[in-house]
Each structure stands twice: as structure tokens, then as C-alpha cells.
Amino acid sequence: MDDMNESERGGVGRILTESGFRIKKHLGQNFLTDKNILDKIVKAAGITPQTGVIEVGPGLGSLTIPLAAAAKTVLAYEIDAELMPILAETLKSSPNVILLNRDILKADIDQDVRTLLKDCTEIVVAANLPYYITTPILMRFLETSKSVSRLVLMMQGEVAMRVSSEPDTKDYNALTVAIRYRASVKHLFKVPRTVFVPQPNVDSAVVMVSVDPKPVCPAKDEAFFFEMVHRCFSQRRKTILNNIRDAYTEKTRDEWSAILREVGIDPSCRAETLSVADFVRLSDRLTMNGVER
Ligand code: SAM
């Protein structure tokens, strides 16, 4: 258990010592030890006694316990089967926790919500994410789950900056646009690496993702929209004109310039300066005229 100081690490240290559990770094197991930060996450999530909470990766249960104290029900997905008996013991005084030994990326979340959280008035996701799959988890909730109203997520500081960034900043990229298409994101607070066991190599941050029930600015063909956005950012330093020409080669430079101007985009600008609405106008214009995929 590397350089852990028992008094600082509190319950996490005791559970690890007593259970003999060996931490699996490849599953992103960095356990949170600071009670103030756990309480801040629960408070930020705005949980009421009617709320159903989905937790990704309960680990040793440090966040699960305060979530369960505030919520109606907590539905916790943990991929590591070896944590199941430890969690059953840690959570024995939290009868409103439903533990599923399942990969969150393969779970049918909407179906689970319908059957297991049916008495809850709203669904909130709260998690200290396994960092190796931060983006797929976020996109899975935004693209496939229709039931979640907001997500309070701990992630790497650098990814938190990216997902909460504004157009025309260095952090703004295709992921930011994909998230902003369905949600608004707020950077809440930073978390130092020293409050985890084992310590990760980077500091973390907690963000609030508020999901729009429907996209504010919907694209006619969403699959094309997401793919086009990725292509527009494929070479960050190139202009939007050059990126779009490289992506869809069947038109001349002049034809592409005319199309971009027609939808109100300056052909000499870069993708990082464009808003979600700009990308949606371009995507709708291209799908209307049947650009090759
Ligand atoms: N919530 C605990 C805490 O704050 O101390 C643990 C957080 S730890 C950063 C991430 C947890 O996610 C680990 O328990 C890990 O086993 C689990 N995990 C990793 N990949 C997962 C997946 N695909 N589906 C569900 N849980 C996963």
C-alpha cells in the first residue's frame, strides 16, 4: 500500500489492510480518502430523498455511503468482482444501495433505471471516474442514456478543462463540441492528487454536466454531425476550409469556400473558434446535399 499514512487515509487504509485487497491500477483504482471532498461531491449533486443516483465504480464504498445517506436509491456499477464482498460488508448499513457487478460501458443503463430506479423522481450520476475510460463513460451517458438529468464527475484536471472550455481556447476540441451538443458543463473545484490511494500522476477536478432534455440546436443527421466535427478538428492548426476539403474531397476549394460562407463561417478560421450552432449549420447544409460519408 505504498507510502500510505494510516491516520490520514482513515477508512480506506483500514479496509485495504483488513481485506488484503490488492489495488488494480489497470482498472483506474484510485480511492478517495478525503471526507470533505466526498461531502462536497454529494452536496454539488443536489440529491434529495427522491433522487435515484447512479454511481460508476463504487470501489471501497467511500462515496457510496454519503450518496446513500442523501438519496432514495443508489445504483452502483462495479466491474471488479473482488470488490463485491468488501462492498457488501462496507455497505451493510446502507440498504438503499443496489450493487451490480457490471461494466458500465456494457450495461443497459436505461433498462436498469426503468426497473431498479422506477420510484425515483430524477436520476443523477455521481462518480469518481476510472480515468482510463473518462471519455467513453461521459459519451455513453450523453449519447445513449435518456434518463439522466445531471452528472457530477471527478476526472483528470486536464480533461475537466477540456470539457468545460469555451470556443477559441486551447482546450476546446471535438469532445467539447460533442458534449456541448447535449449538455452544459461547469468546472466546480480542483482536487489534489494527494487525497487518493494510490496517488495518481495528475491532479483532478470535479465538473457538473447538466444534460439538456433535447439538444438546444439539433442536427438533422446526428451521426454525420459527430463524425464531421471530429474531421474538422483533425489538424488543429489548419483552417476549417483545409480540414473540410481533406475530409470530403469531391468539391473544389472555391466550392467549399462558398458553402462555408453560405452558412456564415469564415473559411479562413479554425475549428476551435466555431460554436455548436456553427457546426450544426454546416452539418445540415452538407447532409441536405448528400456529401459522401
Ligand atoms: N468510488 C471510489 C472512490 O471514490 O474511492 C472508487 C473510484 S476509482 C477512481 C474507479 C472505480 O471504478 C474502481 O473501483 C474500478 O474498479 C471501477 N471501474 C473501472 N472500470 C469500470 C467499468 N468499466 N465499469 C464499472 N466500474 C469500473
Question: Is the beta carbon of 156 within 6 A of some atom in ligand 1?
Answer: no
Helix 174-182, helix 134-144: angle, nearest 10: 30
- What pLDDT score was predicted for residue 290? 66
pLDDT-based confidence at 293, cuts 50/70/90?
very low
Q: Which three cell numbers stand for residue 184?
A: 452544459
CA of 269 to the centre of ligand 1 (A): 41
CA of 178 to the centre of ligand 1 (A): 24
Where helices occur in 78-150 by DSSP H, the ranges are: 84-90, 109-116, 134-144
Question: Is the beta carbon of 105 within 6 A of some atom in ligand 1?
Answer: yes
pLDDT-based confidence at 250, cuts 50/70/90?
confident
> Which of 4, 29, 196 is the pocket-test mutation for ligand 1 (most atoms within 8 Å of CB)?
29
Q: What is the mean pLDDT of the chain?
A: 92
Instruction: Give the contacts of 109 (CB within 8 A, at least 6 positions apart).
Output: 54, 140, 141, 144, 145, 147
Exposure string of 46-69, with b = 16+ CB inside 10 Å and e = fewer, is ebeeebbbbbbbbbbbbbbbbbbe
pLDDT-based confidence at 246, cuts 50/70/90?
very high
Instruction: Give the contacts of 102 (CB within 8 A, at least 6 positions apart).
Output: 77, 78, 79
pTM recorded for the entire structure: 0.89
- What pLDDT score was predicted for residue 8? 44
- What pLDDT score was predicted for residue 249? 80
- What pLDDT score was predicted for residue 288? 84
Alpha-carbon distance of 237 to 112, in angstroms, equals 43
Residue with the bigger pLDDT between 186 and 10: it is 186
| Strand, helix or coil for residue 28 | coil
Question: Is the beta carbon of 104 within 6 A of some atom in ligand 1?
Answer: yes
Per-residue pLDDT tens over the stretch 85-100: 999 999 999 999 999 9
Domains recognised in the chain with CATH numbers? 6-211 (3.40.50.150), 222-288 (1.10.8.100)
- What pLDDT score was predicted for residue 5? 52
Strand partners, 150: 124, 210
Alpha-carbon distance of 222 to 218, in angstroms, equals 8
pLDDT-based confidence at 9, cuts 50/70/90?
low
CA of 27 to the centre of ligand 1 (A): 7
Per-residue pLDDT tens over the stretch 220-232: 999 899 999 999 9
Over 50: is that where the pLDDT of 268 sits? yes
Alpha-carbon distance of 157 to 189, in angstroms, equals 10
Per-residue pLDDT tens over the stretch 25-73: 999 999 999 999 999 999 999 999 999 999 999 999 999 999 999 999 9
CA of 173 to the centre of ligand 1 (A): 26
- Give me the percent of the chain exceeding a pLDDT of 90: 81
- What pLDDT score was predicted for residue 209? 96
Per-residue pLDDT tens over the stretch 159-206: 999 999 999 998 999 999 999 999 999 999 999 999 999 999 999 999
Over 90: is that where the pLDDT of 146 sits? no
Contact 236, 270 (CB under 8 A): yes
- What pLDDT score was predicted for residue 214? 85
Question: Is the beta carbon of 79 within 6 A of some atom in ligand 1?
Answer: yes
